[in-house]
Amino acid sequence: MGNSIKEAEHYCQENGLNFTPVRRKVLEILLQKNTAIGAYEILDLLREAGFKNQPPVAYRALDFLVQNGFAHKIEQLNSFIGCTHPGKDHSPAFMICRKCDSVSEEEALTR
């Protein structure tokens, strides 16, 4: 997890982006989980960590992380997962366990 956080910090510095404490915490939450989690669960975890309880805060952080390649939205689950290949141009495929809901990011096969 630490390496992904450092990569995000470096990317944001290099590109003049603001890696706010909320964005950092959301990325930490996503990287700590091995399951995809929804925005409201993230909001609950932010609240527990002392951040404000406002849905736009979580959604803005998630949008930022997805747009900059640090997280992925899994549309089928309407949930998010931290990217295991940040900064790398890739087309991920997700393996989702039906029993435990764990999610693994893999490289999509190219034809």
Q: Which two tokens stand for residue 86?
A: 């940040």
Do 18 and 12 contact (CB within 8 A), yes or no?
A: yes
**pLDDT in the model for residue 57:** 85
How many domains is the chain partitioned into structurally? 1
- The CATH number linked to 96 is 1.10.10.10
Tens digit of each residue's pLDDT (9 = 90 or more) over 64-91: 999 999 999 998 889 999 987 776 676 7
Q: Which domain holds residue 67?
A: 2-107
Do 27 and 62 contact (CB within 8 A), yes or no?
A: no
In whole angstroms, give the CA distance from residue 66 to residue 61: 9
Q: Looking at residues 10-30, what average pLDDT do you find? A: 95
Tens digit of each residue's pLDDT (9 = 90 or more) over 47-68: 999 987 778 888 999 999 999 9
- Identify any residues that bridge with 107 across adjacent strands, giving them in sequence order: 92
**pLDDT in the model for residue 79:** 93
Give percent of the chain above pLDDT 90. 53
Q: Looking at residues 40-48, what average pLDDT do you find? A: 93
